[in-house]
Structure 1
Amino acid sequence: MEENVNNAQEKVRYSDEELMEFKELILEKLARARKDLELLNENVSGGDNNADDTAPTFKVLEEGSNVLSKEENGQLAARQYKYIQNLENALIRIENKTYGICRVTGKLIPKERLRAVPHATLSVEAKMGQKK
């Protein structure tokens, strides 16, 4: 197998077998992310918690807390939606056989980074260069 002979720096792209491994990982993360997004959306759009039988002061505090919680859940849902889009884009890159190639350096992103952040499009080197 030629992948064992060449190191990651010499390879131009990941093999089809490696891409399939990443695809499985991404599909698992995508399924989990969609479930999480569904739960967040339910919390954002969910009805009130029926505080009708409580004191007016408590009801005002409870409503304020609910609004804040819904705002936080809305922000989390937006982040989760973006994460899902990034994972879907990674699947497209797998189909195009460009997955794992750094947008800046053109080198392969190490497998360890892709396992941790499967939607990564930048190597750590390029990411650090952006922050400067």
Structure 2
Amino acid sequence: MKEEKKTEEKLRYSPEELEEFKQIILEKLEKARADLKLLKEAYTNDSGSDTNDTSPTFKVLEEGQQVLSKEENSRLAARQERFINNLENALIRIKNGTYGICRETGKLISKERLRAVPHATLSIEAKTKMRKNNIND
């Protein structure tokens, strides 16, 4: 009977392991939310140091740069919001007991992968297979 358990593949992470992942996610969430706040401030902030008193040529160039910068910050903020959402979804998976299980293979995602990408829902095996299929399509 003990031999069966040794060869039986682990299906879920232990509560201790899930707690480790939860702490990683909470730390990343805190940093991501702070970064998002900075990004939003950067593209919504209208500082008083503008170019109202400079020549029209410089004003046009600077306004163009400000528009590009605001667009880039807006894109980065949207990406950051998706990242935060993915991390929050990972916390939900921890609560409902599905965290760390590959949505394609049903096998456990490696601890190394989850430490690096704690919101991962695919194992390296599934991700590689998906990329190969996309290239071949």
CA distance in 1, matches of 2:130, 2:20: 29
Deviates most, 12-21 or 44-53:
44-53
Unaligned runs of 5+ in 2: none
TM-score (norm 1): 0.92
What is the CA deviation profile of residues 73-108 of structure 1, one whole-angstrom value per residue up to 9, with x for unaligned ones? 000000000000000000000001110000000000
AA of the residue aligned to 1:16: P
Measure how far apart 1:6 and its partner are: 5.4
SS at match of 2:46: coil
What is the CA deviation profile of residues 26-62 of structure 1, one whole-angstrom value per residue up to 9, with x for unaligned ones? 0000000000000000011010541122221001100
* Paired position in structure 2 for 1:108: 108
Q: How many residues align?
A: 127
CA distance in 2, matches of 1:6, 1:50: 68
* Paired position in structure 1 for 2:92: 92
TM-score (norm 2): 0.88
Classify 1:114/1:6 alpha carbon distance in 2 versus 1 (closer, same or farther; 3 Å).
farther
AA of the residue aligned to 1:106: G
Runs of 4+ in 1 over 2 A off after TM superposition: none
AA of the residue aligned to 2:19: M
* Paired position in structure 2 for 1:14: 13
SS at match of 2:18: helix
Aligned-pair identity (%): 66
Classify 1:6/1:17 alpha carbon distance in 2 versus 1 (closer, same or farther; 3 Å).
farther
Q: CA RMSD in A?
A: 1.5
* Paired position in structure 1 for 2:51: 51
